[in-house]
Amino acid sequence: MSNHEHQESAHKPLQRKEMSRRQFLSYTLGGTTAFMMGGAVLPMVRFAVDPLLEKKTEGTFVKVVEESKITTDPQEFKFQIHQVDGWYVSDPELSAWVSKDANNKIFALSPICKHLGCTIAWNAKGKDEYDCPCHDARYTKDGKNITVAPNPLDEYEVKIENGFVYLGPVKPNSRVG
């Protein structure tokens, strides 16, 4: 073996060794980076997506008043709901006009006028109707629109449990055709 050949053969394995070390490093660093990115990104993705997957508070009922306090004359009751809408959590105060019908069935109307959204009140003008102060819409005790508003007042879902009235989500008026 000449001196030159010896150098060649000694050089080749060295080159292969360097390449494999470089590859090893790039795989290792690449893998570590990917792992770290995964560790950082996955929680972010979870954070971003979780609230959207979370069940909303729709369908939950809030205890509002003792059943015994409800008469055939509508009364206004205020209550708070816990609301989760994506990332936005709030506890808005709502109000409902609650009364009994001729069959002693308790029902609750939303105070939001179906004309342009002002707040109605019972018997504000002494006519045994719901009146809206904005453009004079009027509704019957069942929430049926008499003038101005195009639709009846919405209703809350009502549940009676252990002597208390619970109010749930708002639904279209089921009392008037």
Span near ligand FES by CB under 6 A; candidates 58-66, 67-75, 84-92, 110-118: 110-118
The nearer residue to ligand FES, 57 or 140, going by C-beta atoms, is 140
Residue selected from 81, 84, 106, 118 as contacting ligand FES according to rule CB under 6 A = 118
Looking at residue 121, its amino acid is A
Span near ligand FES by CB under 6 A; candidates 29-37, 86-94, 100-108, 128-136: 128-136
- Binding status of residue 125 toward ligand FES by CB under 6 A: no
Burial of 10 (0-12, 13-18, 19+ CB in 10 A): exposed
Residue in this structure with the two tokens 């050089």, named with its chain if needed:
11
Contact positions with ligand FES (CB under 6 A) in 147-166: 148
The nearer residue to ligand FES, 96 or 132, going by C-beta atoms, is 132
- Binding status of residue 146 toward ligand FES by CB under 6 A: no
* Among candidate residues 107, 26, 116, the one with its CA nearest the CA of residue 72: 107
- Binding status of residue 112 toward ligand FES by CB under 6 A: no
Do you know the residue count of the chain? Answer: 177
Task: Tell me the residue ranges of DSSP E strands in the chain.
Answer: 62-66, 75-80, 83-85, 88-90, 93-100, 106-109, 121-122, 130-131, 138-139, 145-147, 155-161, 164-171
The nearer residue to ligand FES, 152 or 158, going by C-beta atoms, is 152
- Binding status of residue 108 toward ligand FES by CB under 6 A: no
Q: What is the 3-state secondary structure (H, E, C) of 35-50?
A: HHHHHHHHHHHHHHHH
Binding site for ligand FES (CB under 6 A): 113, 115-118, 132, 134-135, 137, 148
